[in-house]
Amino acid sequence: MGSLTDIGVSAGLNILSAVGFLLAFAVLRIQPINDRVYFPKWYLKGTRSSPRQLGTAFSKFVNADLSTYIRFLNWMPAALKMPEPELIEHAGLDSAVYVRIYLLGLKIFVPIALLAFSVLVPVNWTSGTLENEKGLSYDEIDKLSISNLGKGSKRFWAHIAMSYVFTFWTFFVLYHEYKVVTTMRLRFLANQNRRPDQYTVLVRNVPPDPDESVSEHVEHFFAVNHRDHYLSHQIVYNANHLSGLVETKKGLQNWLIYYENKHAKNPAKRPKIKTGLWGLWGQRVDAIEYYQKEIENLCKQEDEERQKVITDPNYIMPAAFVSFKTQWGAAVCAQTQQTSNPTVWLTDWAPEPRDVFWANLAIPFVELSVRRLTVAVAFFFLTFFFMIPIAIVQSLANVDDLEKVLPFLKPIIERNSLQAVIQGFLPGIVLKIFLILLPTILMAMSKIEGHTSLSGLDRRTAMKYYIFLFVNVFLGSVITGTAFQQLDNFIHQSANKIPEVIGESIPMKATFFMTYIMVDGWSGIAAEVLRLKPLVIFHIKNAFLVRTEHDREQAMDPGSLDFYNSEPRLQLYFLLGLVYAVVTPMLLPFIIVFFSLAYLVFRHQIINVYSQRYESGAQFWPDVHMRLIIALIVSQILLLGLLSTQEAEKSTVALLPLPVLSIWFHHVCKGRFEPAFVKFPLQDAMVKDTLELARDPTLNLREYLKGAYVHPVFQKNDIYKVVAMDEEEKNPIVVTKRQSRMNTPGGSKLNSSSGGTNEGEFSRMLPT
């Protein structure tokens, strides 16, 4: 474990960087020229106008009001003022529940820290075992950890007792929070305004029919089996190539605007470009004419592809969005099996229109199992081969190991100031760099798996990222770091002593995790509120692409919470806090500072910055709860393993009930609360239908739903066709092109000699 000096240096560097980011943000946010960067949500809502429209030319760019610089920290109390009901209405339930995770961290760890420092730290400090041991490397912080207790010490009972206290306190907080979030979700769904997804079901794996098209087959199936509630449907087209053409055209249009603006500033000179790769070589041509021709050609290709998608049956996928007259009808369909064959006519709630990931709707359902197996194998190799760079990073965490690997650096490394930086700052920042691109890679893997909603992609990617962080950042850091740190002891001691060395060395990785929390948590959160990348990109777009106020709005990048990226990292802090609460309580203050700062920053961001990509009604909460339970069980198992190396057999046995209790607690919560996140109660659906009818009895639901689930590359009237039974006619017959299959292999005993049904003239009859 590093010394207090190393931790002090790391804390100093990270506090300085965090304060620097926060001060820069406090100044930049009040400049009129940056208003759209730091308050984009209010512009998108139409409730804020640009301060650059008023005042002198200088004041349009720089805030000349000195009093605002005195109050530059007023964003902090402002972020906490908005009440939670107003926050839900303003930012959505997903955002409001997400920031509660940070508050949950404070609820769990503040009381645990107080107890740990009151009981465990004095118990560890007064033991004095490490001072009497010879041949074991340790530092000052080790004296405050469980490492300072001798083998077979009676003091281990204090840690066992506190482990039970911490576990039951965590149970209490988690149960209460699950109950609160469940209540919030049910209230949100009950009070939610009308949305297309409340009436719509996504149907996949529609079986082929030799006599009917997919659209006709879907119509007949639901008109017969949901005759009182079926309203209409929209089939799914494979428009992925068309989407690519549209995106390419948008990119070319941006370049055209750029060169037109450039020409407008200097009319005497026409801009030129090279037509080769990235404009580095090729024929030199007029830039404006070149992009105009390219866009014209793309428009022709786009029109041809659009017509092909609409008219070619090969572009129709065996899937459809089916809408119902009532939310009750949609709930019944979404939550029941449609036929005796469980592999066809698969139904589930449709994502809200902005939550649909259209590209994956074009994936044939039969491919999904193969895709997911392939991704699982690839993820396994990605996770475990990443241990190699983790091992290299961990070797940096110990100066002695670094000198053994690179002896020629010994004169430089042994300088006191550089040594403190290497141990206190470098490992955390290097690991952070290694992990930057990882979420993007994992998101690409989740897309390959074929999930059809953005929220589903976020949840699956978050699970992968959490597993990766658990294996590589946590287990990899502990195991790999231990092997490097105690290599000499392994070589010179007998084999039966190795488990003891590992057990004693687990607490010694606390310093690395302290530096990681400071780099990723403190500095990372402060950098998040600064929004340096969106700031630079906005001003680049504003300088080269913006012509009108509409263009300026398009240049804004409000961003979003990126659940798949932020939540797993957040879960890692829960894991570290629960693991080290008993082992090394000194880590807890670093965790508490992180949760406090993150709660403040993310509350500010969801109020003023982030724009929701979708609203799932906090559907991610069961995953959050499950990962917290996993962290709790891991902490209990690791403590049990640690004590088993300390000649404390009786103490170890006393810990065995804890993992069992944690699993039991998870099943209790799962049975009590999770159904509210998976199913929509039919009683609630009926209540909403009744209220909806009373509120707007003349609502034309078919017109309201028309075009809600048309692919974004189409206009609403391009491909939408009413394919539903006319409600006024109430026709009891659904005409079908299907040939009759009512003939039997042999003669029927119930056969009638008169009035039979002629094959080929069969019409399916609905019961009256």
DSSP labels for 241-265? HHHHHHHHHHHHHHHHHHHHHHHHH
**Most confidently predicted of 46-55, 194-203, 356-365, 644-653:** 194-203
Residue 679 tokens, joined: 């199913």
Answer yes or no: pTM beyond 0.85. Answer: no
pLDDT at position 135 over 60: no
The pLDDT value recorded for residue 413 is 54
Residues in the chain: 768
Q: d(Cα 554, Cα 556) in Å, to the nearest integer? A: 5
Q: What residue type is assigned to position 353 of the chain?
A: P
% of the chain with per-residue pLDDT over 90: 37
| pLDDT (tens digit per residue) in 665-701 | 999 999 999 999 998 999 999 999 999 899 888 889 9
Asked if residues 766 and 224 have their Cβ atoms less than 8 Å apart, the reply is: yes
Q: d(Cα 1, Cα 400) in Å, to the nearest integer? A: 12
Q: d(Cα 152, Cα 338) in Å, to the nearest integer? A: 62
Q: What is the mean pLDDT of residues 232-239?
A: 91
| CA atoms within 13 A of residue 349's CA, in its CB half-sphere | 21
Of the pLDDT bands very low, low, confident and very high (cuts 50, 70, 90), residue 426 is low
3-state secondary structure of 453: strand
Q: Which residues pair with 733 in a beta bridge?
A: 765
From residue 143, how far is each of 132, 139, 645 by CA, in Å?
A: 12, 7, 18
Residue 603 tokens, joined: 């509350």
Domain boundaries, the chain: 4-194+366-660, 207-351
Q: d(Cα 618, Cα 622) in Å, to the nearest integer? A: 9
Q: d(Cα 571, Cα 588) in Å, to the nearest integer? A: 15
| pLDDT (tens digit per residue) in 545-591 | 776 666 777 778 888 888 999 999 999 999 999 999 998 898 999 99
3-state secondary structure of 489: helix
The pLDDT value recorded for residue 741 is 47
**Distance in Å from the first CA to the final CA of the chain:** 79
Residue 677 tokens, joined: 């996140």
pLDDT at position 243 over 80: yes
Task: Report which secondary-structure segment, H or E, holds 237.
Answer: strand 230-237
Residue 196 CA to its chain's centroid (Å): 24
Burial class (CB in 10 A: 0-12, 13-18, 19+), 96: buried
Residue 224: name the closest of 725, 629, 756 by CA: 725
Task: Report which secondary-structure segment, H or E, holds 286.
Answer: strand 284-286
Asked if residues 39 and 450 have their Cβ atoms less than 8 Å apart, the reply is: no
Strands (E), 486-633: none
Residue 646 tokens, joined: 């300390």
Q: Is 690 left (phi over 0), alpha (psi -120 to 50) or beta?
A: alpha
The pLDDT value recorded for residue 766 is 40
